[in-house]
Amino acid sequence: MTPGPVLRDAVAADAPRLAEFGARTFHETFAADNTPEDMRAHLAATFSPQRQLREIGDPTLDTLILADGEQWMGFTQLRAGHVSDGVPPQGSIELWRFYVDRRWHGKGLAALLMDGAKQRARRRGASTLWLGVWERNARAHAFYRKHGFQRVGRQVFVVGNDPQTDDVMLCALT
Ligand SMILES: CC(C)(COP(=O)(O)OP(=O)(O)OC[C@H]1O[C@@H](n2cnc3c(N)ncnc32)[C@H](O)[C@@H]1OP(=O)(O)O)[C@@H](O)C(=O)NCCC(=O)NCCS
């Protein structure tokens, strides 16, 4: 019997699995809308055991994994020290990555991950949580709106060689 889904901080030993999980989820979500070359370049630059190991040890990042025993359901990363279009320069923290495994979509697990991310952001002293989401990622938009985010601006997100437009959304942490 496992205790059910639990949110925990990533540790160094999680790096290889985190790289695999992130790359797989990104590919599943966005491969149909990008060229194979852009996708390959983005995955190679973003997900590798070495890269995730560095991120796990980076004090400006929080890497949180949602897992039920050995089964991983999702992960999120908070990043301090960055703001974007329409984001207050003081008291803001970025919800940098937010991925739930496809088999757990629509089952309330993403809400658990979001609650944990907001809690951690508050613990870090933030009053605003912000994120960038691809303008065409309709499911993510609907999810973020449901969780109190509103669009405040736009930013560029480059996938491989393709500059894409992200909507910038923020949520007040009360
Ligand atoms: C974005 C994500 C975290 C949301 O988690 P989820 O469990 O799928 O979210 P939910 O099912 O609670 O909410 C999604 C909402 O979008 C709706 N929806 C589903 N497909 C949709 C679509 N194609 N267009 C618009 N809305 C859609 C759902 O009906 C649901 O709304 P409802 O609760 O009012 O019915 C998850 O889908 C995910 O990890 N996706 C892949 C990675 C990703 O896109 N991450 C975000 C990067 S910024």
**Residues 77-121 pLDDT 10s:** 999 999 999 999 999 999 999 999 999 999 999 999 999 999 999
Q: What is the pTM of this model?
A: 0.96
Element (H, E) at 15: helix 15-30
Q: How many Å lie between the centroid of ligand 1 and the Cα of residue 106?
A: 7
**CB–CB of 78/94 below 8 Å?**
yes
Q: How far is the CA of 109 from the centre of ligand 1 (A)?
A: 11
Query: What spacing in Å lies between the alpha carbon of 142 and ligand 1's midpoint?
Result: 6
Per-residue pLDDT, 2: 74
Ligand 1 center–CA 55 separation, angstroms: 26
pLDDT tens for each residue of 127-156 = 999 999 999 999 999 999 999 999 999 999
- To test the pocket of ligand 1, the residue of 33, 139, 155, 157 to mutate (highest count of ligand atoms within 8 Å of its CB) is 139
For residue 63, which of 86, 95, 111 has the smallest C-alpha distance? 95
Q: Among residues of the chain, what percentage have pLDDT more than 70?
A: 99
Q: Give the CA angle between residues 50, 28, 31 to the nearest 5°.
A: 95
Burial of 46 (0-12, 13-18, 19+ CB in 10 A): middle
* Residue whose CB lies within 8 A of the most ligand 1 atoms, among 143, 151, 166, for a mutation test: 143
The residues lining ligand 1, judged by C-beta closer than 6 Å to any ligand atom, are 25, 29, 98-100, 105-106, 110, 133, 137-140, 142-143, 146
DSSP state of 108: T
| Average pLDDT value over all residues in the chain | 96
Does the structure show a pLDDT above 80 at 67? yes
User: Please, which pLDDT band fits residue 3 given cuts at 50, 70 and 90?
Assistant: confident
pLDDT above 90 coverage of the chain, percent:
98
pLDDT at residue 167 tops 90: yes
pLDDT value of position 174: 83
